Structure formats: C-alpha cells, structure tokens
Chains A and B, each alone.
Chain A
Amino acid sequence: MSRSPSILMRTIGAHVALGGYTLIALFPVAVIVINAFKSRAAIFSEPLTPPTAKSFSLIGFETISARGDFVSYFINSATVTGVSLALILSFGAMAAFALSEYRFRGNGLIALYVALGIMIPIRLGTVAILQLMVSAGLVNNLLALILVYTAQGLPLSVFILTEFMRQISADLKDAGRIDGLSEYKIFFMLVLPLVRPALATVAVFTMIPIWNDLWFPLILAPAEQTKTITLGAQVFIGQFVTDWNAVLAALTLAIVPILILYLLFSRQLVRGLTAGAVK
C-alpha cells in the first residue's frame, strides 16, 4: 500500500508530460484550422479563439474555389500518390517474394543492391533524372513523378516485405505446390493475403513523403496542369500572401486528406513495426 501514492504520482506525471507535448504538437495545426474559418478582422484581433457565430466566415474557401485550381491539384496529387503506391506495393511484393522464397545465385547481392537505396536519397540523382525526363519527353507529365516516386519507395518496400515473407510457414506454400498451384498462384493466393498488415505499413511510410514532396514537382512538373497540391499550396502562398483567409483555407485543405489517411492507418503503423520490420 505504501507504494500506491508514488505510482499514482508517476501516472499523473506521465499524463502531464505526454499531454503537454501533445499540446505542443497540435497547437500550430490548430492555429491554421481555427483561423481558416474566421473573418479577416478576427484572424488578426484574436488569433487563438475558435470561430464564434460572429467571426465565422468561409471567405477564404470561397476565394480559393474561385481563383485557385485546387481541385485539379488535388486530383494530380491523388493520381501520383495512388499510382506510385500501387506500383511500389505490387513490384515490391513481387521482388520481396522472389528474394525471400527462392535460393538462387546472387540472391543476397540483389537484396543488398536494393537495400542501399534506403539510405541514399534519390534526390541526389536529380541532375541526371531531369535530363532523362527531358530526353524522354516526360517533363510536365505526371508519369515522370510516378516513375521517380516508385523508384524512391521500392527499397524500403522490398526490405520490409522480405522480412515479413520470411515468417510465412514453408509448409503452407509446399502444400500449395503439392496441390499443383503455380508459383504465381502461390504468390497471389497464399502469400499476398498473409502480408496485408505489412503492405499497410509500407503504404503509410511511403505515401506520406510522396504526398508532401515539393522537390520533384518543382523540378519535373511545375506546369499549371500538373501541379500537385503541395506545390500548388506553396505557389499560392507566394501569390496571395496578403490574403490570409485564402492562404489558411488552402493550408487546411492540404492537411485534411493526409490526416484522414493517417488516422485510418495509424494502428497499422505500429502493428507493422512491432511485427518485426525494424529490429
């Protein structure tokens, strides 16, 4: 009994520390979202109070829907992120299956060759990537971004998925082989469903940097019709820096989709990590 007060104190201490840090983490985001729904005067006079009936205003969102092309930016971002993710997951899973399942000459070397890409940023090859895209006629084409992001995401995807696929029992696959399944069917029907949690982990980790990237859209696809939402928001801020309502509304719109996806996947993130991806 003598120890219970100290345990209570410790629990309270933990909540104070974590709660305090949560405030620090969320405060700036709250500042943007709160003020996006306020009139211009209220943004300046009372930046920290939530919108009231008097200060509530959607003028910022009206401005960007009239002036900005946020819908098309959004579609561009969704296309690039979605297609890249599909390619990263399918190509990555296929390569991971080959590396984890079969013994062949060069297996270890190929795994190492791909794993090197986790540590070396693809950005350092930008000079040559741009020349490559210019000569292929892909500048200001979303395909350029998709290809680059697929290459960027593959190393981590292959690495994590290989670790997961090693844990699948060989008996299951051998049973499939006895039943006459081809190697392709074993991959699609037996292995892929079992690594779904790992696919979700890879999806979260590769999706966020793709959605948020500014470097490659700036360099490979800066044209109006290929702008992503991140680049669009950046350019918009530059042009409308005095129209605070519009800027805050634009930033709110840039936050929302990734936040929703993150909340949907956040449990997978930790589950995937604890299941052995990072050890």
Chain B
Amino acid sequence: MSSAKLNRWPSPRWHILVFLAPALSVYTALMVIPLALTLRQSLYNGVDGTLAFVGFENFSKLLFDPTWATSFWNALSNNLVFFVIHMALQNPIGIALAALLANPKLRLARFYRTAIFVPTILSFVVVGFVWKLILSPLWGVAPSMLKAIGLGWLFAPWLGREDSALIALSLISVWQFVGMPMILIYAALLSIPDEVLEAAECDGITGWSQFFKIKLPLILPTIGIASILTFVGNFNAFDLVYVSQGAQAGPNYSTDLLGTFLYRTFFGFQLQLGDTYMGATIASMMFLLILFGVCTYLFFVQRRLQRYQF
C-alpha cells in the first residue's frame, strides 16, 4: 500500500527497459535467433547454390537413408549408453560422497570437498590426455599398477578396443563430473534445518535410516535437478570424445556421440565435405531430444515431487 502512495514508479518506467535491454538483446541475438535459424535451416537444402524448401526430407534422410541412418542410430545408441552409465554411477556416487561430507562433525570436510571437485574444473583437453596416458599400454601406469597388486592380467588397452572404448570413456566422464551432483546435493543436505533432524533423533531415527527416511526425500528435487543437468550435458557431449578419440570417434565410430556426429557432418573431415543443412538437421534432432527429455522431466517427475518449504 505504502509503495503506491509514495508513487514508487514514476511512469513511464524507462529504467525497467534499461535494466532488461542488454541481457535480453545479447541472449536473443546470439542464442534464441541462431537456434531458431538452425531449426529453420533443417527444413531447407542447397541445390546448386539456391535454397530450396524440402520439408522434413532431411529428417527422413537422417532417420531412414542408410548413408545417414547408420551413423545417426549408432551415435544415438552410444549416447544412451553414455547417459545410462552416468545415471547409474555418477549420481549415486555423488549422493554417497555428499552424505559423508555433510556430517557436521567430520573434519577435513572442506579439503575433501575441494579435492573431489577438482576434476570437474579441468578442461577436457587435460582429462582426455591424462587418461589416455594412464591407460596406454605404451606408458603403462595402469598396467604396472595392476601388476603390482597381482592383477596384471586384467589390463587391456580399453580405449583402443571397440567393445570397451565407450564404457571406458563414460567412466572417465563420470570421474570428471562426479563433483557436480556431489556439490549440489551437499548444499541441499546442509540446508535441511536442524529442527527436522533433531525431531528425527527424538523419534530414534539416526544414522543410515535417518538418511534414507528423512534426508533422501528432502533432497529428491535436487537429485532431480542433478539428473536433468546430467542428461542435457550428456546429450550435448563432444569434447571428451574429440580430444581423446579424435573427430572420427574411434575405434571404428564406437565412441561416436551426437555431438561428434554433428561436428563431422557440419565441418566435414578427411574426404567428406561439410554439409550445413544436414548439420542443422542433426542439431535440430539434438534440440528435440533435449527438449523432450527436459519436458518429460518437468511434467512427470518434478511436478510429482513433494516440495518442502521450511
């Protein structure tokens, strides 16, 4: 009420426009419009230098024409495997680490937290190279370490074999990004009010059962956010494969993801020329997949999660 009397906002309120304009114009010009143009371009094709509207022909080529479809389905299924491994390992490990860290009496918690997050801040160039080095049979830190504990027979050039390269890369990526769910869930655990936990203790709920019965339900929304961020990151991944296996996602495309497929298609490689229109089509496909995932999450998961207000 008082604000109305004070004539809080002299009209016209130009300052609102001044505050909003820079962010909105940069965001629109470099993110929204390019995305819209890319989607539009996926419906066109260049024939002898002239632009022709072809409807969904590019999409049907991508999905059904063997020259494109083989690579596309290969990249998509690799991407799914990549994502499933992340969901199965990265988030549970992240939750476990966060649960251990959130104990208020634990000493050195800040050191552990900082150290475990370090791989997340490293560039893919560093991560890809160091793991190639460690796993290389040539230099052989991994073989000699395994030998030292009597497991030398276990070693194989995992990154170089078609049947194991994708799994090895997924594990490397899990290693790199485990800090992300850990830090989000750790922050969520810290923000659970003490009264809730004290009430649980009065009822005799302590230790692991306290974690599963009290804390876990309270941090479910954060786990949901961590999962959807993992999904978006995974279906947009490119760098790790590019730096460790090259643009061809070797061996024999066994580590090809949608991101590397997009890069090869758009820019070309070796003897294949770049194809702008098919590149736009693949980007649009990735956009639809990510949008579908995000919407599914918002409508079916996030809405059903109980939101707790303290």
Contacts and interface: CB of A to CB of B under 8 A. Distances in A.
* Most A-side CB within 10 Å, residue of B29, B34, B228: B34
B118 A151 contact: no
Interface of B: 2-3, 6, 8-9, 13, 15-16, 18-20, 22-24, 26-27, 29-38, 41, 93, 96-97, 100-101, 103, 105-106, 108, 110-127, 129-131, 133-134, 139, 141, 144-145, 175, 178-179, 183-184, 186-188, 190-191, 207, 221-222, 225, 228, 232, 236, 238-239, 242-243, 259, 262, 266-267, 276, 279-280, 283-284, 286-287, 290-291, 294
Interface string A225-267: 0000010011001000000000100010011001100110011
Contact of A151 (B16, B31, B125): B31
The residue in A122, A208, A259 that gathers the most chain B C-beta atoms within 10 A of its C-beta is A122
A279 B307 CA distance: 9
A47 interface: yes
11 contacts: A98-B16, A98-B19, A119-B232, A125-B37, A125-B283, A129-B34, A151-B26, A151-B31, A262-B121, A273-B187, A278-B225
Q: What 10 A-B pairs come out closest when comparing CB atoms?
A: A125-B34, A273-B187, A151-B30, A212-B123, A128-B37, A98-B19, A95-B23, A128-B34, A125-B35, A91-B23
Nearest to A212: B123
A28 B125 contact: no
A154 B30 CA distance: 11
A274 interface: yes
B258 to A, nearest CB: 10
A66 interface: no
Interface stretch (A17-25, A53-61, A192-200): A17-25
Contacts, number: 262
A127 B284 CA distance: 10
B30 A120 contact: no
Contact of B20 (A95, A131, A174, A258): A95
Contact of A214 (B16, B32, B115, B239): B239
Most A CB within 10 A of own CB, among B24, B119, B183: B24
A214 to B, nearest CB: 5
Contact of B122 (A48, A87, A95, A212): A212
A15 B59 CA distance: 53
A276 B134 CA distance: 40
Contact of B286 (A24, A99, A124, A254): A124
Contacts of B33: 128
B126 to A, nearest CB: 5
Contacts of B221: 279
Question: Which has the most chain B C-beta neighbours within 10 Å: A22, A87, A233, A276?
Answer: A22
Contacts of A151: 26-27, 29-31
A190 interface: no
Given A125-B31, A270-B113, 9 more contacts: A18-B108, A26-B118, A95-B20, A120-B291, A124-B287, A183-B15, A184-B18, A251-B130, A274-B190
Contacts of A178: 6
A91 B183 contact: no
Given A127-B41, A148-B30, A278-B184, A259 B16 contact: no
Given A127-B266, A151-B27, A270-B187, A29 B236 contact: no
Interface string A151-179: 11011001000000000001000100110
A28 B142 CA distance: 11
Nearest to A208: B121
B257 to A, nearest CB: 12
Most chain B Cβ neighbours within 10 Å, of A10, A90, A110, A266: A266
B107 to A, nearest CB: 8
Contact of A120 (B16, B35, B141, B243): B35
A64 interface: no
A278 B188 contact: yes
Contact of A150 (B6, B16, B18, B26): B26
Residue from the set B3, B22, B108, B120 with the largest chain A CB neighbour count within 10 Å? B22
Interface string A96-129: 0111001010000010011001011111111111
A11 interface: yes
A128 B38 contact: yes
A15 to B, nearest CB: 7
A273 B117 CA distance: 15
A112 to B, nearest CB: 12
A20 to B, nearest CB: 10
